[in-house]
């Protein structure tokens, strides 16, 4: 779906640094989600937000933080507290409770 944009496509981080991944959508979707994809493990939910200025932890929130100041934006910060940050990160959004989630292209984060 061209309406969900994740940037950058590739990101490198030095140990001890925080890094922020961008997710923007122009679909006017209320709910947004962040997932982490690791080989052989499928996708795991990090954080989600149902409305502006509100978000909840998912299954693996430790070492991550988010904000939802605008409906169209849901940035994810990978902090230095995340011990194994190397992964592929996917952002998704959804309009109503009966609608499926739509995904962005993802950001691949690597540690230098």
Binding site for other proteins (CB under 8 A): 1, 31, 33, 35, 40-45, 48, 50, 56, 58, 90, 92, 94, 97, 100-106
Minimum Å distance from CB 45 to other proteins? 5
Three-state DSSP at 75 gives coil
CA-based R_g, the chain, Å: 13
Q: Which residue, 18 or 56, is less far from other proteins as judged by CB?
A: 56
Token reading at 17: 């640094």
Residue 91 CB contacts under 8 Å (≥ 6 apart), including other chains: 4, 6, 21, 23, 32, 33, 34, 35, 74, 76, 103, 104, 106
Minimum Å distance from CB 108 to other proteins? 12
Q: Which residue, 63 or 106, is less far from other proteins as judged by CB?
A: 106
Q: Which residue, 9 or 14, is less far from other proteins as judged by CB?
A: 9
């Amino acid at each position: 779906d061209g309406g969900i944009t994740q940037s950058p496509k590739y990101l490198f981080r030095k140990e001890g640094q925080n890094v922020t991944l961008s997710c923007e959508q122009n679909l006017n979707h209320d709910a947004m989600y962040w997932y982490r994809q690791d080989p052989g493990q499928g996708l795991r939910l990090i954080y989600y937000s149902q409305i502006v200025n509100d978000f909840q932890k998912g299954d693996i929130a430790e070492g991550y933080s988010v904000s939802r100041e605008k409906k169209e934006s849901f940035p994810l910060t990978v902090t230095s507290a995340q011990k194994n940050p190397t992964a592929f990160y996917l952002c998704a959004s959804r309009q109503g409770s009966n609608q499926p989630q739509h995904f962005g292209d993802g950001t691949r984060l690597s540690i230098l």
